[in-house]
Structure 1
C-alpha cells in the first residue's frame, strides 16, 4: 500500500485567484463570440449588442428574449395613440393580431456548447 501526503503552500488561494479570473473572462468571451455567430441577423442590431464584460455576457436589447424563446400569437394594441399605423399600411387600425414568432435560440446553444477549458496561464 502506498501513501501520498499533500501539503498546500501557504497562500495558494491568492496565487490561484488571478488565473481563475482570467479563465472565467476568456470563457465569457468564448460564449459571447458563439452567441454573435449563432444569432439570427435581420438588421444586425441584436448581434452588435452581444458582448463580454469580465466574466459576464451582456445583450443590450430589450427584445433578445423574444428571439431566444419565441412568442405566442397575441394582439397588439396602441399604447399612446388611438390607432396603430406603420409605413405601408393601408390605414390606421385599432389592433393587430400577431401570429407569434418561432424561437431562434442563440444564447443557450452558445452557453451549453462543449468547449475545451480556456488557457489559464
Structure 2
C-alpha cells in the first residue's frame, strides 16, 4: 500500500502541487484537473491496487491532497455489537471496550380511545 501526500497551492489562478516526501509534482488550472493529474502521476509510479483520494482545503489558496494505492477497497461495514473495527496495521492502539448499553425506558403506548377518537374509525 502506498500513500502519497501533496501540498497544493494556488497562485495567479493556477494550482501547483509538490509531493510532501518525494519528487512527484503537478499543476493545472483547477483543483479538479490537478487531482486527476496527480492521480495519474501516482499511478505511473505505483499501480498495485485500488485508488482512494482525499482533497482538503487548508486555506482558500492552499490544500492537502492524498492518494492511497492498495489497501482495503470498498466501504463495507466491519464489526457489530457496537464496537468499531480497528484500522489495519500493527501500530493501532488496542480498541477500548464498548460502553455498557443504557437501559431504555419502556413507555406504555396510549390507547387511541384516550384521545376521544380513533385513527381507524
| Fold conserved between structures, TM > 0.5 | no
Q: Shorter-chain-normalised TM-score: which range? A: under 0.3
Query: Which of structures 1 and 2 has the larger relative contact order (alpha carbons within 8 angstroms, sep 6+)?
Result: 1
Structure number, greater radius of gyration:
2
Greater helix proportion: 1
